[in-house]
Structure 1
Amino acid sequence: MLAISHLSKRFDDLTVLEGFDLTVPRGGVTVLIGPSGCGKTTLFDLLTGVVPPDSGTLSWMGDPLPHLGAVGAYMPQKDLLLPWCSLMDNALLPSRIAGADPGASRRRAGAFFRRMGLEGFEAYLPGEISGGMRQRCALVRTLMSERELVLLDEPLSALDAITRRSLHGLLLALQREFAKTLVMITHDIEEGLLLADELLVLSKMPMKILQRHSLETPKPRRPDDPGLIRSKTAVLARLDLELSHETL
């Protein structure tokens, strides 16, 4: 379980988070959705140690931590593949940094490449393949870190709808197969409802949780499922209300 308690962060006179609390159950998919600029990415920066909090505590499985760098993997919106390295070399970066056995790491990465439909492209450079393939390689690299906790910051937002839908299935399959705990930021309400075990609707800054939606419909889900449509309507209504307050 990930526990965030009383987390606060200010940048000069801008309060992004103030006493923010969040508990993420182990082994599920928690999706965060909120207005643009509400502080979601800053939250991930705090969790990964990119910026220090002003106050607050973090813990993973009951162990207090200054940040999640030692226990979590992070996949940002951009794939951030090294353009001069092959796809396989990009995927192997976490293993090399960790000093893992090179042969075993290559075999493991090869298995992920087959699972992701990247077999045969191991020697290609990132500039020689599509955006969807680059994102799949970035996902392989994230999984190669062997961390149970995975933070995903809009990892599919730059992709077309068809590619995104195919990667939804891969994310869910890999999350179940490898018992990952996923925390995902998205602006796409339907995407969040298709993937989440729990979806959290966030306010504008200073960010707080406005709504929690527990989704018990079995996965994979269909966009035309009546329960999903009801949840989408409720999320849209709450976000519209939050944004309308901003314009008054």
Structure 2
Amino acid sequence: MSELTILYQDAYLVVVDKPSGMLVHRSFLDKHETEFVLQRLRDQLGQHVYPVHRLDKPTSGILVFALSAEIARALGEQIVAGHWQKGYLAVIRGFLKTAGTLDYPLKEQLDNIADKFARQDKPAQEAVTRYQPLHTVELPFSVGRYATARYSLVALQPLTGRKHQLRRHLAHLRHPIVGDTSHGDGKHNAFFKTQFANTRLLLCAYTLRFPHPVTGVNLTLHAGLAELALLFAQFAWPTEPAYYQTMFNQFLEQEPCKKSQ
């Protein structure tokens, strides 16, 4: 069993690079799963850890755990107060030509089992996402009705934290994330599986900025590209960490563009 990659660790918290395809913790919705980040990290560190937030199972990237209940509570309060800045990388269908900010409310997604007693008539919640195109590729394959297949690499910043927000917002823009089996394009997902042996969601939580809950020092952490590096190389997209770190430093400092619906 391989160890998790630790991006940051001190006496108060630990940050890991979560692999795609691994649940953060046990869920009765995925009863067949036996591998969880929470348990593996506990075994790896030899101590109890407290989850602070979550990433969807198919998403890779930065995941923060506290080493005490008090620090978990402090970090949770930071999230609610909007003190965390998150930057994601995604490969999407089509050419996204301009940067923007999407303000498109989302209805809460309820699970038939876990949420069967929850209110079914809740109004849509505010959901805002910034996006910026980085690179494009046009492949000489017909996928669907066009003679070629076009894809873009984009940087994303969720300004709110709704369930599957990035996946749903990109689908709303008609640029679904490749590998998204819930909100994506099945033909393009199948093409990537056949042509590039890709079976994962092409979404990575690459950058996270937040103040340390004890010292107050601003932390900026970066994940790795994992399997995405090989794919990016085939598309002649950058794979050097310095490129993405510099790009996100600039992207997260920018003022949000005019909001679109």
Of structures 1 and 2, the one with the larger relative CO (CA 8 A, separation 6+) is 1
**TM-score normalized by the length of structure 2:** 0.26
TM-score (norm 1): 0.27
Q: Counting helix residues as a fraction of each chain, which structure ranks higher?
A: 1
